[in-house]
């Protein structure tokens, strides 16, 4: 079972009618979503520690995605079928790359354009 995930830079194109079926991961407060989660700030140590460092090995977004999937499977909280990640335009390529490279995210979510 895969859920869909969209990485967007603007919510204008996201239909209001579909928001009640989606989780929004964002720093902005928005109404009408099944659930909203704040995107954690990046670790200040990211890319400065060695490979495999426990504080740098998983991105905060990956941890959120894992918890959301677990909640979905266990029926915790309001049900959802999609996850929308709102990022700044210049952050989008890095976020997409991180999601595509995370094995657990790829196994559980279907990345949509």
pLDDT digits (tens, 9 = 90+) for 10-43: 998 788 999 999 999 998 888 899 999 987 655 5
Q: Taking the model in full, what pTM does it have?
A: 0.81
The residues, ordered by sequence, that sit 6+ positions from 63 with a Cβ below 8 Å of its Cβ are none
Measuring CA to CA, how many Å separate 76 from each of 50, 70, 73, 105, 107? 36, 8, 8, 19, 20
Q: Which helix (H) or strand (E) holds 82?
A: strand 82-86
- CA distance linking residue 104 with residue 73, whole number of Å: 14
More confident residue, 62 or 48: 62
Angle at which helix 92-101 crosses helix 60-74, to 10 degrees, equals 60
**In the chain, what percentage of residues exceed pLDDT 90?**
35
Q: Which residues pair with 110 in a beta bridge?
A: 4
What is the mean pLDDT of the segment spanning 73-99? 90
Per-residue confidence band for 48, with pLDDT thresholds at 50, 70 and 90: low
């Amino acid at each position: 079972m895969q859920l869909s995930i969209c990485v967007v830079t603007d919510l204008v194109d996201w239909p209001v009618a579909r928001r009640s079926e989606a989780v929004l991961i964002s720093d902005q407060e928005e109404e009408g979503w099944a659930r909203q989660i704040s995107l954690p700030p990046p670790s200040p140590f990211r890319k400065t520690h060695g490979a495999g460092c426990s504080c740098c090995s998983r991105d905060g977004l990956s941890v959120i995605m894992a918890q959301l999937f677990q909640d979905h499977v266990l029926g915790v909280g309001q049900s959802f079928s999609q996850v929308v990640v709102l990022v700044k335009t210049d952050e989008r390529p890095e976020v997409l790359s991180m999601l595509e490279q995370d094995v657990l995210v790829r196994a559980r979510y279907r990345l949509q354009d």
